Chain A
Amino acid sequence: MDENDLIQAAKCGDVESFNQLVLLYQDTAYTVAYRIMGETEAAADATQEAFISAFRKLHQFRGDNFKAWVMRIVTNVCYDELRRRKRRPTDSIEEMHEVQSSADGNLHSQQENPETYVQRSELSAAIQDCINDLPDDQRVIAVLADVQEYPYQEIAEITGLALGTVKSRLSRARGKLRECLRGVRELLPAEYRLVDK
């Protein structure tokens, strides 16, 4: 069964068909959730909640891009969770860093040697640390624009912000990321270091 057949079957209440769609897009969804949330458990919870919400709202799906539809749900769930946390802050920064370190272990590939894996893991952890250092409102927009590559208009619709606000927040987020990445420049690959010249 192709994706459309699975979607139609899931619309009829076939959970097994929907689970096949989940298996197709769960890594991408988790990645987005992790980039936004910055911690493993929160990202996993957000991903699970996003898939549950997608299954319940599947009858509302009218488009032809199921992946984008699911990613938007994931983004909304993460954004709602961040706003909820902002109202009731409970988690410490240290806990988030511990989670993110463990999550980077999933990047291991059997084709790369251990040295490359370690180097890439350190780079990814450094970049994620820079992302996590962003304020929530800027981090979400930075992830939506640079990780998911959403257009500004769609980001404005997801976040409920004005288009100008999205532009300014994204610009500030990128500026902070640039300053953060200067501190981890020794971890950057050679092609990125060439830019420094």
Chain B
Amino acid sequence: MVAPHTTPSDHDLELLSAYLDGELAHRERISLEQRLDRETELRAALDDLRETVMIVRDLPPLKAPRNFTLDPVLYRRPIPWWQQLFTLGNVLQFSGAVGTMAALLLIVSAFMLGSNSANDGTSAPEAAFEQVAEPGEIAMFASPTRAFEATATLYAMNQATAIANSNTDAAAFDATLETQSEIYATKEISGTMTAESLLFAVTATPWPTQTMPPRLTATMLSTEVMPMGAVESQADTVGGQAFEESTSEGAVSFAAGEDTADDAALPTPQPLIVMPSPMPESPTMLQAQPSASDTEDDDTGEQWVGTPEAALDMADSDVAAGDENATAMREAQSTPSPALKEATASQTPTAMPVASGIGDETNSVGAAPPADMTDGQQDAEAPTPIEPMMAVRNANKDDSRDYTVLAFIGVMLLAVSLVAFMVGRRRSRRA
């Protein structure tokens, strides 16, 4: 039985309660323990309070009347909007849509560029030439000295590029050269034109632009500009000596332009063959060409256009043109004429190519035929548009190949984008 005893004060009960819970400060606890040792009533109240606390704390735990689990359907945590935005389905859907648009744009661009290239295929090289050789420049090129200056400058700008591209463009140049040589060898050109003379005029034309590849332009020479003694186109009439004269004297005489420089109209350079690359395999030709300074020093105003050695080197490499002309050229190469030697010796060989059609009016293509020319000469002199079909075809072929690759990439991108879009849409719907 709980014995009735004097009830401690509320403050004493509060101290005892806190003492049981260990919530008293050190000083209060010491003071209370001293009182507990002295006051039996206070100690009995502490025991009574401890008993009460133990009874409450010993209450057994209850069992839950039911489960308080949550319904997954009702209490699924909502995904924040920014997380929903970046779900895999949405990301795939968005990327697929963007990729589809990009692919369509790529395909349309490829077809448009391809069609434009096909339409402007023949004019592309010409446009390139016009881009570089503006009318003012053409007029400037009419001046021999200025022409060589410009040529020297242009070549200096592009020599490195030409050399760098020589390896890759060598094959294309050979192919073009061979084809052109075949054309020259087989085409019935007027008697004033020979394959050798044409090849002779094939010079590397640098183009002062980084975006355009160095070009090689073959200029068809007219009878007006052809030197005396030019060989006939028939192989049987071409002798080594004749060609020697043609090449040697022609190289000097039509460059000199002493006869027609003042009479002829300003020539318009007309590239007949636009090569996608410089002449990588005719270093002798490039090196055999004179420098501009040397040309300027020449009091006679003789302008060097091309060297027979270079042309013959090209002819040597020409398998298709292995006819008598080639033989004649070989002979001419083996026995250069004194005039040629003089011409080449007076000009320091440098690695500067000469732009075709550049120089004196006498060697310019497209120059108006003199009035004293014969009909045959005028026919031959007329700027025969020897279409650079092969070169243009090669250029267009390269462009079309690029556009085809571009279109193919666009188609592949379109397919991947569509798949991604459909997968993302399916995932989004499923979610």
Chain A residues within CB distance 8 Å of chain B: 13, 15-16, 18-19, 22-23, 26-31, 34-35, 40, 44, 47-48, 51-52, 55, 103-104, 106-107, 120, 124, 127-128, 131, 142, 145-147, 149, 151-152, 167-168, 170-172, 174-175, 177-178, 181-182, 185, 188, 192-193, 195-197
Contacts and interface: CB of A to CB of B under 8 A. Distances in A.
A100 B431 CA distance: 47
A182 B4 CA distance: 11
Interface string B17-53: 1100101000000000000000000000001111111
A173 to B, nearest CB: 9
Interface in B66-83: 66-72, 75-77, 79
A103 B65 CA distance: 8
Contact of B2 (A23, A103, A104, A185): A185
A106 B21 contact: no
Contacts of A193: 1
A23 B60 contact: no
Contacts of B371: none
A55 B75 contact: yes
A13 B49 CA distance: 47
B260 to A, nearest CB: 92
29 contacts: A19-B69, A22-B70, A26-B64, A30-B63, A40-B65, A44-B68, A48-B68, A103-B62, A103-B65, A107-B60, A124-B60, A131-B56, A147-B57, A147-B59, A151-B23, A167-B14, A167-B17, A167-B23, A168-B14, A171-B13, A171-B16, A171-B17, A174-B13, A174-B49, A174-B52, A185-B2, A192-B51, A192-B55, A197-B1
Query: Interface residue tally of chain B, by bracket?
Result: 35 or more
Nearest to B48: A178
State the majority secondary structure of interface residues on B: loop
A127 B76 CA distance: 40
Nearest to B13: A171
B3 A196 contact: yes
Given A44-B65, A142-B56, 18 more contacts: A13-B77, A15-B72, A16-B72, A47-B64, A52-B70, A107-B62, A107-B63, A127-B55, A128-B59, A146-B57, A147-B56, A147-B59, A151-B21, A177-B56, A178-B51, A182-B2, A195-B2, A195-B47
B69 A22 contact: yes
Given A44-B65, A185-B1, A18 B17 contact: no
Nearest to A41: B65
Given A15-B76, A103-B62, A185-B1, A171 B68 contact: no
Contacts of B13: 171-172, 174-175
Contacts of B67: 22-23, 26
A118 to B, nearest CB: 14
B283 to A, nearest CB: 73
Contact of A55 (B14, B51, B61, B70): B70
Given A27-B63, A174-B13, A19 B56 contact: no
Contact of B62 (A31, A51, A55, A151): A31
A132 B51 CA distance: 19
B299 interface: no
A19 to B, nearest CB: 4
A151 B71 CA distance: 35
A188 B55 contact: yes
Contacts of A106: 62-65
A148 B18 CA distance: 16
Nearest to A106: B63
Contact of B17 (A31, A174, A195): A174
A196 B77 CA distance: 56
Contact of B64 (A44, A145, A147): A44
B10 interface: yes
A124 B16 CA distance: 25
A195 B69 CA distance: 43
Contact of A167 (B18, B47, B62, B66): B18
Given A26-B67, A188-B55, A195-B51, A15 B75 contact: yes
A35 B98 CA distance: 62
B37 to A, nearest CB: 19
B18 to A, nearest CB: 6
Contact of A51 (B21, B55, B61, B70): B70
A92 B355 CA distance: 115
A47 B62 CA distance: 13
A11 B1 CA distance: 54
A155 to B, nearest CB: 10
B68 A47 contact: yes
A48 B21 CA distance: 31
B187 to A, nearest CB: 82
Contacts of B50: 195
B64 A196 contact: no
Interface string B322-354: 000000000000000000000000000000000
B70 A34 contact: no
Contacts of B57: 146-147, 149
Nearest to A40: B65
Nearest to A30: B64
A174 B53 contact: yes
Contacts of A34: 62
A128 B61 CA distance: 12
A174 B47 CA distance: 12
Contacts of A151: 21, 23
Nearest to B60: A107
B54 A192 contact: yes
A152 B23 contact: yes
